[in-house]
Copies of this chain bind each other. A is one copy, B any other.
Amino acid sequence: MPHKVPLMPKAGRPHPSVGFSLSQLGLATSRGFAELVGTLGLEPRQFAVLRAAAQSAGQPQQALAERLGIPASTMVGLLDGLEHAGLVHRRRAGTDRRVHTIELTERGAGVLHEAMALAEAREAQLCAGLSAAERRALLGLLARVAANLGIEPEQLPDRGEGHRAP
């Protein structure tokens, strides 16, 4: 959450606004998700790293960083944690001994699996009481708002660089 944390108006309560609701819910969901994967000893970005590493094994650590929009120096610490927990493996590439390729350990794959299950359960909790059609409608409307903002569907939340992002 983090978005740095964004705080928006309140009070007046003339009408609820989409912007305020999204800001409020976005913070709550990401915070809740962080807590959830925290029970597995992961922080959200480590979960993202596990997923990305699982998609194709043996990626250089810098490739992962770039793909997730995480600075290389930050990636070091994230991987240190994952490696120390035995979830991931750094190996020097034979072709270029400067690069470290990343692979999930068996245990790492297991934890990733658990984390995905938690995420699914969380999704179900968020959407409790919504019919399948309503959930689809919500996703569709959110996608249209995202399009208005120029956000591509796959794009990571991406912590802004220099700008203040509360």
Contacts and interface: CB of A to CB of B under 8 A. Distances in A.
Interface of A: 1-13, 16-19, 21-35, 38, 43-45, 47-48, 51-52, 55, 67-68, 119, 122-123, 125-130, 134-135, 137-139, 141-146, 148-149, 151, 153-160, 163-166
Contacts of A127: 18, 145, 148
- For this chain, the copies found in one complex come to 2
B7 A157 contact: yes
Output the residue of A23, A29, A165 with the most chain B CB within 10 A. A23
A71 to B, nearest CB: 12
A43 B4 CA distance: 11
A10 B9 CA distance: 30
Given A4-B4, A156-B7, A142 B26 contact: no
Given A33-B8, A157-B27, A145 B126 contact: yes
A126 B21 CA distance: 12
Nearest to A129: B144
A110 to B, nearest CB: 17
A138 B134 CA distance: 10
